[in-house]
Structure 1
Amino acid sequence: FLHNFISVFCYTMGPLLYPFLVLLQEDTDHNYYTSKAYGPTDPMSQDLWVNIDQMDKEKVKIHGILSNTHRQAARVNLSFDFPFYGHLLREITVATGGFIYTGDVVHRMLTATQFIAPLMANFDPSVSRNSTVIYFDNGTALVVQWDHVHLQDSFHLGSFTFQATLHNDGRIVFAYKEIPIPISQISSVNHPVKVGLSDAFVVVHRIQQIPNVRRRTIYEYHRVDLLKSRIISSSAVEMLPLPTCLQFTSCSSCISSQINFNCSWCQRLGRCSSGFDRHRQDWVDNSCPDEVRVLVCGSVISLTVCGIFSSIICCCLYFTDDTKIALHLQVSRASPVESTSNKNSSSLHTGLILGVLMLMLIMAAVVLVTLYIYHHPISTAGLFFIERRPRRWPAMKFRRGSGHPAYAEVEPIGQEKEGFIESEQC
């Protein structure tokens, strides 16, 4: 009930509270993955390193263009379904900057969201003949290795050799063979430096002033930031996926799930979700967040937000009527003389007290809702504001000066790339 009351309250008080909200917040809690780090002396760090030289030569591919260019990205098809944040991927994009892009649509600013980054930095394989970008797919895992790559603006620091392995069970392994300097010393002036994972969903907005033109906004709903001080030579990090709502395919298994997420079953979509995944657009378009469902599959009862709001009003009216009845009884017990003289005074005092209490309740509700959304910016209520904000509230666009350099796609498809707008980050 409280959850839906907050949603209704946000809808009515949104224009007043929106300037105080944080639209995007990096979530460092491992809700989707658990990570294990292994140091140079741990035998697991050696076991997690894949020696590509010993693999089948026919399956090992050295990408000629990526190995000789700067800020380029190439699509790679997987021979298996790779679960990423609960979504099954059959295609990824390998970038020269030490990361893998996992989004569906390739755009120029790949470093912002939706990535698997063993070590994202301003690497330029073209500055050395020994630098290569290699990948290997054995049917159950894909290994991508950045071999002897150098930083474009710091060639003298030495070469980096590391790899990322994507397993068909969703496990992700970062292994590091050669890291010549601490990660904290790598400059992020011309290129962001990141180690971890990120995923986002895309929301489509129609621009009424321009027919047949839509604006796409990408919102990052979760990020895993790994501790950079642990990234050294001969180290490794293994990330194990945690259960998500997307894995449940029936109503009964969805609502009875005992995982870290509040899973809900949307009857219209036939899908189980927490509301925060890549299918967010469909979830909202089909009014799934606005429904309250009885936990009995087969007889799902849906109440709209308007119905909930009407119920709240009814509850308030009954409460008010009860108060009036109590006051009336008190007046009836008084003597006829006192009844006439105290009636106006009691009504005035009661009205004043009720007015003050109502004002205090409204102020308390505003403060509580603001605090709730501030600390839960990617909650249903927070995203409710984001998706319905007026056009006069601008979003931060991708640009070179924002720390997200432009990447060009190798072997582009014969259609124009779609532009993206990144959600504002406060």
Structure 2
Amino acid sequence: MQQRAYQAPSSGVQRRTIYEYHRVEVDFTRIQSNSVVILEPLTTCNIAKDCFTCLSQDDNFDCKWCQKVRRCSDGIDWLRQEWRDQGCEIQSSRSNCSYRESQKGASNATIAGVVVAVLILVLLIVGGVWFFYAYTHPTSASGQWMINHRPSEMKAKMNKMKFWKRDTASGEKYRVESTA
């Protein structure tokens, strides 16, 4: 990082500091006619949205997590002023994430797993109750559906179907006929 400063005469005027964040240095001796320079960006800290992702970033940058602004940074980015104003230069963590934050992610996964398990259990119970009702009440709509769609009936319907392939003038290639 290179720092350039402009300071007005010391008559109570504020100092303005401009930081140069990015610079691409190219060896011009290697560039010839009809050559191409390919620039591949590095993964930066500000892509991380949580503490664990921040601290597991590649070591190209000194990524730190600031809990106050809930952001990952190396301290040199477009939101540097907010980083400094909130004291993140002092309070940011490079070594570990808080226990509370790690538990929040784990509890969300646990809750989602419990919800899915309960939904599957409810569906199985409802299906079992419906099956019992249809079995004990064969004249009901559910009972009639079960009678018409029992495995032996489905097998008989499949045996009565004919499948074949042929080319016709209309472009029809496959045909299915059923006498069921």
Q: TM-score, normalised by structure 2?
A: 0.45
Q: Which has the higher strand share?
A: 1
- State the structure with bigger RCO (CA 8 A, min sep 6), 1 or 2: 1
Q: From the CA coordinates, give the structure whose radius of gyration is larger.
A: 2
Higher relative helix content: 2
Query: What's the TM-score, normalizing by structure 1?
Result: 0.20
